[in-house]
Structure 1
Amino acid sequence: MSRPLPDAVGRALAASRIVDAAPDPYVVGHWVLKAGSKVGAVSVTAPGAAPVTVRIIPKVPMARLFFLLGYSLDPRGWRDGQVDVAEHREVLPVLAHAFERQTDRAIRAGVLQGYRTTEDTALVVRGRIREAEQVRRRFGAALPVEIGYDEFTTDIPENRLLRAATERLLRLPGVPRPVRARLLHQRTRLIDVTPLVRGQRLPEWRPSRLNARYHHALHLAEAVLDGASAEHRPGGLRIDGFLFDMNKVFEDFVCVALREALRPYGGRGVLQARGVYLDEDERVRMRPDFVWYGDGNASRPLAVVDAKYKTEKKDGYPDADLYQMLAYCTALGLPAGHLVYAKGNAPHAGHRVREAGIVLHQHALDLDRSPDGLLAEVSDLAGEMAAIAPERRSQVTTVPGPV
């Protein structure tokens, strides 16, 4: 589509690769914008010009996008109905609304408390004396004392993540006013929690029985704080916003769903598998999206998968995808490889490579299906992979039902 834009804004959008942007050859002062794989909203401000907001709406229904995201974050606990997304058509309002609702549910019974290790200098002993620090800093003086103690407080990683995500959403353009008001209320409830400094590493948390009510909110907080956020200042320009890369959303969903669907068959599924090389000298590193290994310490690969957020064109899928999968199969010593696409003209196609005997399978998921139907497709795919996997053809006799 062609839109009037200041040249500085158009060039900033083109350089950021948020969208494909190029000057309109037919209309002066207009730029042709084309969405790529990113969805969300950004605001671009050039010196002396009013802010320009670019909103990119996903092609899949918002509820489906949110299911793909939520399932990859928490496959065993996430289901439709936890957050009402029907009233929103754009990504950022949905994410802000969902995060605020989950945060409210998490802290409704009170802000979680836990133990935090604190190191301090004091005139009285509390907890334990840090002897090495006492000698290094005080040179044998009795006071003050270098101490360390465990403090029971709300200033713990879980709450710091929630506050950081709340602050992030409050800075973004496009958050609806009612949601913004509720986010301000949540920030007030977390007022005793230390805010994160921009650029600081995110605190780590571990799921446990004690923080179970926080899990969904924390998963969404990590999504809010993920590196897909856009916040750049090239020259005198300012770009603020939030973006999801649909390539990553789809890839994460396919890999996590396959890992769960393959559990009944044994082995282990590895996302973004490491230690895979194309050459014998191990100089050409490869990173398949998903590799399914057999049981045991010396387990061998049983299947390899690459997810592509692409739809099949009239002339088929790109040949480059087949070449990539052929390289994976060759390096892993597999007789078959699987490419999974977002949409296709047929649910499955296979290509047998000449002189190699390797079969490259192309599968298409239907993202318009319900979550249960989509997971059933992934379960069927897992059954097909298990049926043709080396050393397992004689073992697989039945395919489990939908997850």
Structure 2
Amino acid sequence: MKLVSAVEHGWLSIGNEGDLTAQEADALATAESVLPKNCLEWSRNRVKFRQFCGVVQVQQVLQIEILPKVFPHQTPEQQRTTLIEMLDTAGDIEGLSAQQAGLGTSNHRLLDVFIRHFLRLLEAQLQQGLLRDYRDVEDMLDQVRGRIDLIRQQRENLFKPQRLACRFNELVVDIPVNRLLHTALLCMTHLASSPMLRQHIQSVRMRFGGIGVIHKGDHLPRADDLNRMQRRYASVVELARLFIDGQYLDARAGQQQVYSLLFDMNQLFERFVAVKLRPTARKMGLRLMEQGPRRYLGEDDSGKGRLLMRPDISLLDDLNRPVAILDTKWKLLESSNPLASLSSADLYQLSTYASAYRCDQVMLLYPEQSGFRGEYQMSLNLARPVTLNVLAVPLDGKGLSLSVRNVAEFM
């Protein structure tokens, strides 16, 4: 299988001497229908992934990993580390860290890193045994087990009194949660690029002998579906769902198997910032709200709200009034002076937020990048004084403390 590394918004050339052959590009184009909308951008003899990072695999012939790039001259290992630390912090893949993945010393593929992490979590739980649950069983037996079903006994065994229609509970391992985990392992067998990793998967699968798999249309158990005795498997179940949700069998692609594990970096960065900021907000006596508070900018003649506003992050006081509104932007600035690189659309949006929410402090947050670290500030000429802070958010796992002093001034 051919392995290709790309960066978000980075072009892959198509041709005999390019990153992808024409046949591989055709296979990717056919698979586009099951990928996130607007994930790919095509041009003449080239293609790129927009704001998505992760992995796409088409059949067993092509695997593309898409990595973030916020600093020039980063190695693929450093780019993988950035993505993994963000996923760990945001909680998309719980318990995953670059140190555990061993990215500092090895050139592991991104998908192999995710698989190894799943196996590590699963094996830790299997040390305490497979999950079991009781199942209602009806059977004809020679001796009583559980209780006798009198109606069935009279209907089916009227002339065979030596046979007993019994109903009882049986402790079994072939339950939906285990079928989910077994299905995820089966999926990973076809995704792992390392022979040793595939062998590792097979050895774990042996623990699931006699357990079925999830079929198309079956309900996929969630962590919320687990009972008190099963809760220790919660993180493993959610990761298994992530693997299974990414697998498609596209009929329009001639039954071509397509797999994708892609993360929208705009959304991931927003969740990353929210997690980093929440402790600071709590210390200030503020409540952090994601995607809100929602409010309409105006109303039409009938009184119906128009143009719903939904800030990325808001800091609310004890009366639920916005003290500061934050907008996250996962993109690179073109100039070393961030204030000179701000787009008019971003400034108009934040000015609208400041006016509509009567908020005196707004912030634009970008990933820390070459030429942009720290914080910049400017005033917006609105009906009342409004301060705009432009901040660089470090992605190296350090804590985040954003303008505590400045926000406190407006409380």
Normalising by structure 2, we get a TM-score of 0.70
Aligned residue number for residue 361 of structure 1: 389
What is the Cα deviation at residue 90 of structure 1?
3.2
Q: State the shift of 1:312 in Å.
A: 1.2
> Partner of 1:350 in structure 2?
377
Instruction: State the partner residue of 2:8.
Output: none
The within-5 A match list for 1:263-302 is 263-273=282-292, 275-280=294-299, 281-295=304-318, 299-302=320-323
State the AA in 2 paired with 1:276. Answer: R
Task: After TM superposition, give the deviation of residue 12 of structure 1 in Å.
Answer: 3.7
2:66 alignment partner in structure 1: 56
1:2 aligns with 2:16: no
Aligned residue among 348, 356, 360 for 1:323: 348
The answer to whether structure 1 residue 65 and structure 2 residue 90 are counterparts is no
2:222, 2:237 within 8 Å by CA — same for their partners in 1?
no
Mapped contact 1:160–1:203 kept (Cα < 8 A) = no
Aligned residues: 357
Q: Match of 1:175, SS?
A: coil
* 5-14 or 58-67: bigger deviation: 5-14
Asked whether 1:163 is paired with 2:182, we answer yes
Q: Distance in 1 between matches of 2:252 and 2:242?
A: 24
Cα offset for 1:310? 1.0
**RMSD over equivalenced CA pairs, Å:** 4.1
Deviation of 1:235 (Å): 4.4
Distance 1:93-1:327 versus aligned 2 partners, 3 A rule: farther
Residue range with higher mean Cα deviation, 150-159 or 67-76: 150-159
- What's the secondary structure of 2:408's corresponding residue? helix
Larger deviation: 204-213 or 256-265? 204-213
Counterpart residue number, 1:134: none
Matches of 2:28 and 2:214, distance apart in 1: 33
- Does the C-alpha gap of structure 1 residues 156 and 252 become closer, same or farther in structure 2, counting only changes over 3 Å? farther
Alignment partner for residue 51 of structure 2, among 12, 32, 37? 37
- The answer to whether the 8 Å contact 1:40/1:90 transfers is no
- Give 1:387 shift: 2.1
Which residue, 71, 96, 112 being the options, matches 1:93?
Answer: 112
**How do 1:135-174 and structure 2 match up within 5 A?**
152-155=171-174, 158-172=177-191, 174=192
CA distance in 1, matches of 2:102, 2:42: 34
Contact map agreement 1:42 1:230 (CA 8 A) in 2: no
In structure 2, stretches of 5+ residues that fail to align are 1-11, 16-21, 70-77, 157-165
Q: Percent identity?
A: 25
Q: Does 1:177 align with 2:195?
A: yes
Paired with 1:151 and 1:293, the residues of 2 have a C-alpha distance of: 52
Higher CA-based Rg: 2
Q: CA deviation at 1:193?
A: 4.4
| Cα deviation digits, residues 229-275 of structure 1 (max 9, x gap) | 67645444736233332333222211222224423333432333364
Corresponding letter in the other structure for 1:100: L
Is 1:313 the counterpart of 2:323 in the alignment?
A: no
Counterpart residue identity of residue 3, structure 1: I
Whichever residue aligns with residue 388 of structure 2, its letter is: L
Contact 2:365 2:393 in 1 (8 A): yes
1:337 matched to 2:365? The reply is no
Q: Secondary structure at the match of 1:101?
A: helix
For structure 1, the residue ranges without an aligned partner over 5 or more in a row are 24-30, 130-137, 394-403
Whether the 8 Å contact between 2:324 and 2:361 is mirrored in structure 1 is yes
2-structure distance, mates of 1:168, 1:99: 12
Structure 2 equivalent of residue 197 of structure 1: 215
Distance in 1 separating the partners of 2:96 and 2:365: 23
Q: Answer yes or no: is the 8 Å Cα contact 1:38–1:243 preserved in 2.
A: no
Shift of 1:69: 0.5
Aligned equivalents of 2:364, 2:243: Cα separation in 1: 29
Offset of 1:82 from its aligned partner?
3.6
Equivalent AA in structure 2 for residue 178 of structure 1: M
Deviation readout 1:338-385 (Å, 9 max, x if unpaired): 221113524222342222333332211233x3x2x3xx2x1x117357
Q: Does the C-alpha gap of structure 1 residues 80 and 52 become closer, same or farther in structure 2, counting only changes over 3 Å?
A: closer
Instruction: Give the alignment's TM-score, normalised by structure 1.
Output: 0.71
Counterpart of 2:206 in structure 1: which amino acid? T
